[in-house]
Each structure stands twice: as structure tokens, then as C-alpha cells.
Amino acid sequence: MTDPAIAAHGLRKSYGDKVVLDGIDLAAGEGTVFSLLGPNGAGKTTAVKILSTLISPDPASGEIRVGGHDLATTPQAVRAAIGVTGQFSAVDGLITGEENMLLMADLHHLPKREGRRVAAELLERFDLTEAAKKPASTYSGGMKRRLDIAMTLVGSPRIIFLDEPTTGLDPRSRHTMWQIIRELVSDGVTVFLTTQYLEEADELADRIAVLSDGRIAAEGTAEELKRLIPGGHVRLRFTDPAAYHSAASALPEATRNDEALALQIPSDGSQRELRSLLDRLDTAGIEADELTVHTPDLDDVFFALTGSTNVPAQPNQPNQPKETAR
């Protein structure tokens, strides 16, 4: 087996007493999308900053290799292999989009003509040709993000770090960004993606690691992660406490939420199971005010794994009761 594009062992980082990354292992195969998924403050950005040589890991960390190069001993070789698009746009707002691109071409030591060609091509590809002569500070959020990625691509990096590339983008820009990421991967580029959107990881990632409080709570494909928690459920909501209580006694297997007057009944959402549930409600003469069918998705994994500090990531455990599905 060839070296994975990114391999980190026991990655640690703390600021004073505050432990941000508590010894995490990461491995991203070449030409795949690896997604680090986690809520705000989980340590995603810190992980990207370390892997992209921006900050140094704690000395207690294990070996970290990016693009086959040791991060600690040959950071310049790592830098030559990677491209980074951070959470906050890394464009020079004072100069135009085109000047930003030519700046990158110069820093990658491309010959003048080739630099201009690459810049023009990428501006075209990211739909920025029209805005090329305007200062980057006048760009919209989506345009800045596209310029940011275009600048990252000038050096044709084999490994690209994207730190929350769609945070703050409107739905259309987000889909454009997803398309861009898919194209990158089809060219054989390895993408290390951080996101707080489960949908995004589900949509793009080959492997997902769920980061919570500086630890990897779970890792696997989207399918594997979904399998970590049991099937979906049906949620019944009542406005009348009396109806709620009689329903609760008619359905003893349900998980109760007395405050919300809601019941959760485990169910795979199939027509047969739904009918049998409805029959039981009819027999008991109960009418719920709201019935929703909930199939398991990464949200469930996410909440189950990141909900409390030490949720055991064991399959086939009863689902954690929760307030909202989405």
C-alpha cells in the first residue's frame, strides 16, 4: 500500500491548560476527500493549521506526514505539496482579483507568460473574469471564496486543505463549491475538508472523522457512521397533556419527553411499521397533533457522538433522546 496523503499520529495541541487536540489520529488516502466534522470549537481549524504548517503541534505529538514528507523536519517540502484555503478568505483585498492570481503565479515561480495563462484560465473557470480588474475587497462572499480557491490552485497542489469552505455562503454558492471540490477530486487531488455541516460531509467525503472536544469521537464512511446508531423513529407530538399521557401508556416502548409532550417510537419508517403504529393509536382512540417520520442521517450520529463529553461510540445502543431532528 502506498503512503496515505495525510497521516497524523497522536496529534496534540494545547494552549496553556486548554487542550485543543488531545492526541488524534488521521489518515487520508490519496485522491480521496477526508472530512473532519465537528461543532464550533471542536479543534477543526487547529488541526488544519497544524497539518498545513501554519502552527506547530505540541512536542508530545507522534509522527505527522503530509504528502509523504515529515512535517517536523521538512516543512518546506510539505508546503510545496499543499494548498490551503482557510476559513477566513486569504485574498489580498487591496489589489484586484487578477493581481492576486499573478501574485500567486510569481510566488510559485511560474514564467511570466505561463503565469498569465494560468491566472486567466483559473479566473475563467471560477467565473471571475468579469470581476478580475476589480479590487478583491469589493467581491461578495461567494466570489471571495472562489478567488481564494483559484489562488490555491495556481501551484497545482496535490493536497488541498479546505477549512469550512462553505460557511457563510448562500445555497447556490455552496453547491458551486461542492461542484468545485468534486472536480478537484476527479483530477486526483486529495482534499482535507473541515465542515460543521453533516450534509456536506455526507455529500462529499469518502471518509469522515467526527471531532468533538479535541478527540475523534468516530471515524468511517458516512454509511458506517450511520450504522453506529440504531434505525430511525416516529415522533408523535401532543398539545393535550391527557392525550399525551394516555398515548404514553398505550406505547410503553416509546421514549418520553414530558416537557415537549412528545413521544419517540423506534421505527425503520417502513409502510408496514407505520400502519401497525397507526392501528395501535386508533385502537387506543388517540390522535396525535403531529406525526413525523425520522430516518437516520448523520445528524443523529453527530448529536449522539458530540452531545455529551464521553458518549461511547458503540453500535446498537439505544438512541439518545433529543429535542430536534434538524
Partner 1 sequence: MSTLALAVRDSSTMLRRNLLHARRYPSLTLNLLLTPVMLLLLFVYIFGDVMSTGIGGTDRSDYIAYIVPGILMMTIGSTVIGTAVSVATDMNEGIIARFRTMAIHRGSVLIGHVLGSVLQCVMSVLLVGAVALAIGFRSTHATALDWIAAFGLLTLFALALTWIAVGMGLASPNAEAAANSAQPLILLPLISSAFIPADTMPGWFQPIAEYQPFTPAIETLRGLLLGTETGHNGWLALAWCLGLTALGYLWSAATFNSDPK
Neighbouring-strand partners of residue 234: 265, 293
Task: Report the site for partner 1 in 108-127 (rule: CB under 8 A).
Answer: 108-109
> DSSP alpha helices (H): ranges in 205-258?
222-227, 241-250
91 in contact with partner 1 (CB under 8 A): yes
- Least Å distance between CB 323 and partner 1? 36
- Choose which of 7, 80, 132, 243 interacts with partner 1 (CB under 8 A): 80
DSSP codes joined into one string, 152-189:
HHTT--SEEEEESTTTT--HHHHHHHHHHHHHHHHTT-
Between 109 and 326, name the residue whose CB sits nearer to partner 1.
Answer: 109
* Closer CB to partner 1, 44 or 294, in the complex: 44
Amino acid sitting at position 62: G
Least gap, CB of 148 to partner 1 (angstroms) = 8
Q: What is the largest CA-CA distance in the chain?
A: 80
| Count of residues that interact with partner 1, criterion CB under 8 A | 30
CA distance to 24, 84, 143, 156, 312, per residue, from 225 (Å): 18, 27, 34, 32, 13
Residue 11 C-beta: closest distance to partner 1, Å: 15
Which string of b and e fits 58-91 if b means at least 16 CB within 10 Å?
beebeebbbbbbebeebeeebbebbbbbbbebeb
| Helix, strand or coil, per DSSP, at residue 6 | strand
- Segment near partner 1 (CB under 8 A), from 46-54, 116-124, 168-176, 227-235? 46-54
Tell me the per-residue interface mask from 151 to 190 with partner 1, x by CB under 8 A, - otherwise: xx--x-----------------------------------
Site for partner 1 contains 84 (CB under 8 A): yes
Question: Which member of 73, 76, 271, 309 binds partner 1 (CB under 8 A)?
Answer: 76
Out of 62, 93, 307, 321, which residue is the one contacting partner 1 (CB under 8 A)?
A: 93
**Positive or negative torsion for Cα 265, 269, 273, 276:** positive
Query: What gap in Å lies between CA 118 and CA 104, rounded to an integer?
Result: 10
CA distances from 203 to 56, 74, 114, 193, 221 (A): 31, 34, 35, 12, 11
Which one of 80-88, 229-237, 269-277, 296-304 is the stretch in contact with partner 1 (CB under 8 A)?
80-88
**CA 100, CA 147: separation in Å to the nearest integer?**
8
Residue 19 found at the interface with partner 1 (CB under 8 A)? no
Binding site for partner 1 (CB under 8 A): 52-56, 76-77, 79-80, 82, 84, 86, 88-95, 99, 103, 106-109, 135, 151-152, 155
